Amino acid sequence: MPESVDRGPLPSLPPGIGGPWRRYAVPLLAAACFFVPLASSNAYYVHSVMSKVCIYTIVIAGIDLVVGYAGDVSVGHAGLFAAGAYTAAILMWKLHLPFPLAALAGIAMGALFGLLLGVPALRLTGPYLAVATIAFGLIVQTFINEAVGLTNGSQGIREIPALRYGPVNFEGNNFYYLVYPLMVLTLVAVHRLATSYWGRAVEALKENAVAAACCGISRYRFKLGAFILSAAFAGLAGALFVHVDKYIGPPTFSLQLSILFLIAVIFGGTRSILGNIIGTFLVVVLPDVFNAVAEYQLLIFGVLLLLTLYFIPHGIAGLLRALAWRLSDRFGGSRRAASRPRPGIELPADVGDGGGGTLPAADPVARRTVAAPAAAGEAGALLATRDLTVAFGGLVAVNKLNLRIDAGRVHALIGPNGSGKTTTVNLLSGIYRPTAGRIQFAGREIERAAPNEVSRLGIARTFQNVALFGDMTVLENVLVGLHHTYRGGLLHVFLATRHARREEARARARAQSLLDFVGIGTLAAERARSLPYGKQRLLEIARALAQDPALILLDEPAAGLTSGEIAEVDALIGTLRAHGIAILLIEHHMELVMGVSDDVTVLDFGKQIASGKPAVIQQDERVISAYLGTTVAQGAAAPPPAEIGQGPAGA
């Protein structure tokens, strides 16, 4: 999984500086910048440089959505920018459309190309988007050079009408009064999006695509959404760009421009408004400053990009934030310093009281309705598989499994290593497609459902090798699990409506109560990565519970835990059952399994060799020889070995 191990997350601003900065300084500064043309009558500076900075910032903020938040690379934004510019210019020139309509068409064209590129290129992980966007950029340049009838070819388009509407005049320096507010709107939109549930979903996908999908997030939809939005911003910027020189021609929209955009995003600092603006200044202003070394421009930019990637991965904005932290530590006193997230924090000893409380009630609005088990096909079972089989090449990992889990019961799935337990969980959660057989959950056939659909239907899971979103906070991890409770669309997010704010507040309260429930409520603000192992497992359970599941698949929840922590998990499972949640428990810790389970199924080499009550299973000859061995079989009451994963048959 692409997780940065030794770099750590982008630090947020320290609370002592961040609060007032966000609340007063940023809006004041933004308002003050609107009046830049009053301070300088230099037409070149205001019209050409400042307006260009505003327009490019719109593109770059959009690219940041793709590169910084979603973790994909587009090397073709110059093509999308060109699509917006040429669409607007041609409509104004040939059809004499007014600019606002032409600009809307430019945005639509950008978004359309974003869709056409994103749909095929984002289906696989890998360098596909980068490759497809490079190719797209070259096609666009070929097209605008060759389709002379439409684009005037290499001559470019000069017939751009003036932006005058009666007394309102956006010509000359006044152009800034049009582009600056649009830039501010774009930055606010990107910021709101990024800090909403929508941005969290995209980041979760970047950190761990499988875990995010199992939290009900459609990888395709959100990665594609980020790319299309980004393309729409590029289209808007392109339409505005037409008016900078009242001329557009093919050489502007080169591969080089796409690369410059990327350099701006990385050098300024991803995931930061300030970074986007700083980066834009770099690519717009610096070539003018270094005019004397113009022929070395790409060399300088290339080296700058490499140095940024290695030495300041969070860019200039990251450096400034680090500086803010240092100042805050020096002058802000110990109170602020204490609230700084530190890796490897010491835990208070009494933090864990897992399983003691009651499960916080789901939001009545959000609570899904799982069809009553009575409606289920297989005689009231919540989940039933029929001859479930999956083969990888010649290896049959799960062979004609008939598993039946009843509502509100704990069903253990045990067996030696390699017997197909985790594969079964992957089948049930939609990660693998079965080769044959059916899976029925709450009366529906789900063997063809994708992981995000399975999660939505009410099956949540944890992972054998903990799969958290390491760079997000503990609370944010649970909020990703609560993704399904958000009903407000993008418009609510952009406008920060009351509905959107209420929804967010409600989800945060619920996430906190879920953390309290599993006993790690005091750690809500920590990075998930910095939690000790046992707490990470509890966090995974809290994230699973956030999905309001009717069934939770726990894949070795006690592996690697201390005996005290295992007791917590034991109690937690009991509480969940008391709340009517069914559990499929995969575990090697036999004391836990035999103590907490209502039913046990035993697998060996992908085949079900026994199924029944724990007491019966413990006496089963085949189970003893395949898995349990004789020590445990002689008496589960006596202190058994903690782990018998390497059962006799496992060897």
Partner 1 sequence: MGDLIQLILSGVALGMIYALLAFGYSITFSTSRTINFAQGEFLMLGALTGLTIDVRLHAGYLAAALGAAATGVLLGIVLERVAIRPALRTGSAVSWILATVALGIVARNGAERIWGTDDSLFPAPLGSEPLQLGAIRVLPQELLVIGAAALIMIVVEAFRRWSLWGKAVTAVAADNEAAALAGINVPAVITASFVISSAIAAVSGVLVAPLTLAGPTMGILLGTKAYAVAIVGGLQSGVGVIVGGLLIGLSEQLTARYISTGYKDTPGFVLLILILMIKPAGIFGKRSIKKV
Closest approach of partner 1 to the CB of residue 66, in Å? 10
Specify the residue for token string 């090397």: 75
- Asked if 75 touches partner 1 (CB under 8 A), the answer is yes
491 binds partner 1 (CB under 8 A): no
Closest approach, Cβ 570 to partner 1, in A, equals 25
Our finding on whether 139 is near partner 1 (CB under 8 A) is yes
- Tell me the two tokens of residue 221: 């939809």
For the bound state, the minimum distance from the C-beta of residue 447 to partner 1, rounded and expressed in Å, comes to 16
Judge whether 217 and 92 are in contact, CB under 8 Å. Answer: no
**C-alpha separations of 577 from 4, 290, 366 in Å:** 37, 69, 21
Residues of this chain, 10-69, that bind partner 1 according to CB under 8 A: 67
Q: How far apart are CA 398 and CA 97, in angstroms?
A: 63
Do residues 649 and 625 lie in contact, with contact meaning Cβ atoms separated by under 8 Å?
A: yes
Residue 629 sits in the site that holds partner 1 (CB under 8 A): no
What distance in Å separates the CA atoms of residue 151 and residue 492, rounded to the nearest whole number? 38
Give me the phi and psi of 551, to 5 degrees please: -140, 130
Pairwise CA distance, residues 601 & 562, whole Å: 26
Q: Does residue number 558 form part of the binding site for partner 1 (CB under 8 A)?
A: no
Binding residue for partner 1, selected from 86, 227, 325, 432, defined by CB under 8 A: 432
- Tell me the site size for partner 1, rule CB under 8 A: 61
- CA contacts within 13 A on the Cβ side of 188: 15
- Sorted by sequence, the CB contacts under 8 Å of residue 81 that are 6+ apart come out as 59, 110, 234, 235, 237, 238, 241, 253, 257
Say how far apart CA 646 and CA 544 lie, in whole Å.
28
| CB-nearer residue toward partner 1: 393 or 639 | 393
- Using rule CB under 8 A, residue 436 touches partner 1: no
Residue 320 to residues 63, 229, 343: CA-CA distances in angstroms?
A: 21, 28, 20
Minimum CB distance to partner 1 smaller for 149 or for 166: 149
**121 contributes a contact to partner 1 by CB under 8 A:** yes
- Based on CB atoms, which residue is closest to partner 1, 176 or 227? 227
Contact call for residue 431 and partner 1 (CB under 8 A): yes
**Counting contacts by CB under 8 A, is residue 298 touching partner 1?**
yes
Among 9, 287, 313, 650, binds partner 1 (CB under 8 A): 313
- Check binding of 266 to partner 1 (CB under 8 A): yes
Question: Which of 455, 410, 407 shows the shortest CA–CA distance to 430?
Answer: 455
Query: Which range of residues in 289-297, 361-369, 490-498, 505-513 is near partner 1 by CB under 8 A?
Result: 289-297
Positions in 205-234 near partner 1 (CB under 8 A): 210
Query: From the list 62, 71, 235, 430, which residue makes contact with partner 1 (rule: CB under 8 A)?
Result: 71
If one asks whether residue 345 binds partner 1 (CB under 8 A), the answer comes out as no
| Residues in a beta bridge with 385 | 439
Question: What does each C-alpha distance from 199 to 261, 550, 551, 646 come to in angstroms?
Answer: 21, 27, 27, 43
Residue 312 interacts with partner 1 (CB under 8 A): yes or no? no
**272 binds partner 1, rule: CB under 8 A:** no
426 forms part of the interface with partner 1 (CB under 8 A): yes
CA atoms of 371 and 299, how far apart (whole Å): 63
Instruction: State how far the Cα of 598 lies from the Cα of 573, in Å rounded to an integer.
Output: 12
Residues that bind partner 1 (CB under 8 A): 1-7, 67, 71-73, 75, 116-117, 119-121, 123-128, 130-132, 134-136, 138-139, 142, 145-146, 210, 255-256, 259, 262-263, 266, 295-299, 301-303, 305-306, 309-310, 313, 392, 422, 426, 431-432, 463, 467
